[in-house]
Chain A
Amino acid sequence: MKLLVCIKQVPDLESRFKPDATGTWFSETDLAFRMNEYDEYAVEQAVRLREQLGDSCELTVLSIGPDRVVEAIKKALAMGCDNAAHIQDNAASSKDPWQIAATIAAYAKDKGFDIIFTGMQSQDRGSAQVGVTVAELLGIACTTTIVGFACDSGTITAKRELEGGIKGVVKLKTPALVTCQLGLNVPRYPTLPNIMKAKKKEIIAIPVGDLLKEEALAITASFHPPAKKGGGIVLEGDVADLVEKVIAILKDKTAVLR
């Protein structure tokens, strides 16, 4: 069985974001990068399946981006992926989800992957499109936001997380793609021997131009902070007045009171 897991390296969300020179994405100065959280669930699930199936199975990790993404790839290798593809693209952040999906699909097209794992969305862009679009481009079955996964002789049983904690149970025939959600598993912390082994695993570098032939369908016109939501105001005075003010703020700034 051949497995693929697609990961993205994203900035830590505690970072302070500032627009870059183009004004359409963030400047990378002072940002700390890590593996997209949802992709960690994807890697963990893929590695568990890889372990379940043993040596008859091969697990590839793929990431698109500049050289820094190799750090995220190394982490996935240390968690248990067998080999890696680094699709080199210094301008990955300017690509729209369609282009990213097209790149992955072009890579995966002839490789015969039985199951592809992705995160349900990236933490920075959050479009939640790439996984499903890859499946559509490859013409394979797909389900999203899974919090439960089992695979038995070519049939996947997945549990989708729906609103309010309800779960939808779905069966898919391989080849298939699943997008992974918080709650699916607890990603492992790589052990030191595996970190050492990962250093020797092969990372194949592929220039993005070899794979991507599509133009963007959506373009980002601007990247900016949200309009001030009255942040950091201090209210003092009579309790009754304070209550009125807070109710007004709740109605105005949150979706909680209507």
Chain B
Amino acid sequence: MKTLLIGEYREGKLLESTYELLSFAAQLNADTAMLLVGSESQLPAYAGTLYLADIATCGEYNPDLHKKLILDAVQKENPDCIVFLHSSYGWDLAPRVAAALKAAQISEVIANLDGGFEVGCCNAKMRRTVKSTTARTVITIQAGAFPVLQPGGSPAVQKLTADSSGNLEFIGYEPAEKKDVDLAKAEVIVTAGRGIGKKDNVPVIQALARALGGELGASRPVVDAGWVEHSHQVGTTGQTVSPKLYIACGVSGAIQHLAGMKKSDFIIAINKDKDAPIGEVADVLVVADVMQFVPALTAKVAK
């Protein structure tokens, strides 16, 4: 088995997620080659073949040109699998390569199984095992599904170039809008409910959110009481959210709240009341006093 891994640069920097490709290939026990549109000043720490195209001439987003580079490398390497990250770069480029090769594409793989590749579907509620029927297979892997693997070493660089047909022109980047909070896109949300007791305790919940790299959410009563601003409200009368991790602190789970957060991938609820309705949707219900448990958890997470 041979894989061609497609690494990623963004805003002049090698993305660390490139190393997730390596652990995916390692799980397949595959020989690897890598292709990167990047620069020699910042190469991945990996001892293998690296097809390198100069980012200064090829651009960070030029799918037609990047496709040609990959097809060139495919010809040279003759890989079984061409592997991308399922990212704004990968999901844009992979189908172009797959179409050009008339190869099966399997998107957002989360695991390798004997019978094929495991992918999520129906908003991660279900799984599919997908098999390729073509000689080559294009794969995109889910961000975070495979651990970062930094084998070390220096790559053997082979340079590639190609011309663009130029029906698309990349103008540049626009920085992210500075918003107070955008819960809809947050990956982690830690929500304060009435169970936190008083306004003064909001920073305790905020601290856990920060430690997990997430955002502070709030239930309606907490917002109504003026403890937290409305932009943080989760629920049908606030924002409907679906983060990877949702931690509900002292939220009893009124229907409006549940309907707004139950699509979250993983839900942890901390509540004194074992029978609180939030328990129905939670993957884990921690029966504890919020103000004792949360600071202890934050301290541990921060380590």
Task: Tell whether, in the assembled complex, residue A234 and residue B279 are in contact, meaning their CB atoms are under 8 Å apart.
Answer: yes
Interface size on B, residues (CB 8 A): 85
Which of B23-31, B38-46, B116-124 interfaces with chain A?
A: B116-124
**Which residues of chain A are within 8 angstroms of B185 by Cβ–Cβ distance?**
165
- Summed over the interface, the residue pairs from A and B with CB atoms below 8 Å come to a total of 244
Task: Tell whether, in the assembled complex, residue B125 and residue A13 are in contact, meaning their CB atoms are under 8 Å apart.
Answer: yes
Nearest residue (CB) in A for B95 is A132
Task: Tell whether, in the assembled complex, residue A246 and residue B92 are in contact, meaning their CB atoms are under 8 Å apart.
Answer: no
Task: Tell whether, in the assembled complex, residue A253 and residue B266 are in contact, meaning their CB atoms are under 8 Å apart.
Answer: yes
Task: Tell whether, in the assembled complex, residue B296 and residue A170 are in contact, meaning their CB atoms are under 8 Å apart.
Answer: no
Contact among A127, A168, A220, A226 for B173, CB-based, below 8 A? A168
Task: Tell whether, in the assembled complex, residue B128 and residue A173 are in contact, meaning their CB atoms are under 8 Å apart.
Answer: no
Any chain B CB within 8 A of the CB of A236? yes
Any chain B CB within 8 A of the CB of A97? yes
Task: Tell whether, in the assembled complex, residue A26 and residue B105 are in contact, meaning their CB atoms are under 8 Å apart.
Answer: no
Which of A52-60, A70-78, A81-89, A138-146 interfaces with chain B?
A: A138-146
Any chain B CB within 8 A of the CB of A230? yes
Interface size on A, residues (CB 8 A): 81
Interface SS of B by simple majority: mixed
Complex Cα distance A56/B287, Å? 64
Any chain A CB within 8 A of the CB of B197? no
Select the residue from A157, A230, A242 with max chain B CB neighbours within 10 A. A242
**Which residues of chain B are within 8 angstroms of A97 by Cβ–Cβ distance?**
95, 105, 107
Interface residues in B266-292 (C-beta closer than 8 Å to A): 266, 268, 274, 279, 282-289, 292
**Which residues of chain B are within 8 angstroms of A91 by Cβ–Cβ distance?**
none
**Which residues of chain A are within 8 angstroms of B102 by Cβ–Cβ distance?**
98, 217
Contact among B128, B188, B274 for A256, CB-based, below 8 A? B188
- Supposing A136-B99, A242-B286, A247-B301 touch, asked if A219 and B173 sit within 8 A by C-beta, the answer is no
Task: Tell whether, in the assembled complex, residue A133 and residue B286 are in contact, meaning their CB atoms are under 8 Å apart.
Answer: no
Complex Cα distance A132/B297, Å? 44
**Which residues of chain A are within 8 angstroms of B170 by Cβ–Cβ distance?**
168-170
Contact among B108, B128, B287 for A236, CB-based, below 8 A? B287
Which of A39-47, A118-126, A184-192 interfaces with chain B?
A: A118-126
Task: Tell whether, in the assembled complex, residue A143 and residue B95 are in contact, meaning their CB atoms are under 8 Å apart.
Answer: no
Interface residues in A156-186 (C-beta closer than 8 Å to B): 157, 159-173, 176, 182
Any chain A CB within 8 A of the CB of B91? yes
Binary interface profile of B, 148-166, with partner A (CB < 8 Å = 1, else 0)? Answer: 0000000000000000000
Binary interface profile of B, 60-95, with partner A (CB < 8 Å = 1, else 0)? Answer: 010100000000000000000000001110011011
**Which residues of chain A are within 8 angstroms of B286 by Cβ–Cβ distance?**
235, 242, 246
Complex Cα distance A145/B61, Å? 13
Task: Tell whether, in the assembled complex, residue A166 and residue B176 are in contact, meaning their CB atoms are under 8 Å apart.
Answer: yes
Contact among B104, B266, B282 for A254, CB-based, below 8 A? B266
Nearest residue (CB) in B for A128 is B91
**Which residues of chain A are within 8 angstroms of B1 by Cβ–Cβ distance?**
none
Any chain B CB within 8 A of the CB of A137? yes
Binary interface profile of A, 211-240, with partner B (CB < 8 Å = 1, else 0)? Answer: 000011111111111100111111110011
Task: Tell whether, in the assembled complex, residue A124 and residue B122 are in contact, meaning their CB atoms are under 8 Å apart.
Answer: yes
Any chain A CB within 8 A of the CB of B230? no
Task: Tell whether, in the assembled complex, residue B144 and residue A255 are in contact, meaning their CB atoms are under 8 Å apart.
Answer: yes
**Which residues of chain B are within 8 angstroms of A249 by Cβ–Cβ distance?**
268, 284
Any chain B CB within 8 A of the CB of A80? no
Any chain A CB within 8 A of the CB of B130? yes
**Which residues of chain A are within 8 angstroms of B177 by Cβ–Cβ distance?**
165
Any chain B CB within 8 A of the CB of A243? yes
Task: Tell whether, in the assembled complex, residue A223 and residue B95 are in contact, meaning their CB atoms are under 8 Å apart.
Answer: no
Complex Cα distance A164/B11, Å? 12
Interface residues in B114-138 (C-beta closer than 8 Å to A): 115-116, 119-134, 137
Task: Tell whether, in the assembled complex, residue B126 and residue A256 are in contact, meaning their CB atoms are under 8 Å apart.
Answer: no
Contact among B63, B175, B213, B297 for A246, CB-based, below 8 A? B297
**Which residues of chain A are within 8 angstroms of B108 by Cβ–Cβ distance?**
126-128
Q: Name the distance in Å between A36's Cβ and chain B's nearest Cβ.
A: 12
Q: Name the distance in Å between A240's Cβ and chain B's nearest Cβ.
A: 7
Q: Name the distance in Å between A129's Cβ and chain B's nearest Cβ.
A: 4
Given A13-B123, A221-B129, 4 more pairs with CB closer than 8 A:
A133-B95, A234-B284, A235-B287, A256-B244
What 10 pairs between A and B have smallest CB-CB spacing? A165-B176, A255-B144, A217-B104, A136-B99, A132-B95, A141-B167, A218-B104, A169-B171, A167-B174, A127-B107
- 26 A-B pairs with CB atoms under 8 Å apart are A98-B104, A123-B122, A129-B105, A132-B92, A141-B168, A145-B88, A163-B87, A167-B173, A167-B176, A168-B170, A169-B172, A169-B173, A170-B168, A217-B132, A219-B130, A221-B115, A221-B130, A226-B127, A232-B282, A233-B285, A239-B293, A249-B268, A253-B283, A254-B245, A254-B266, A256-B187
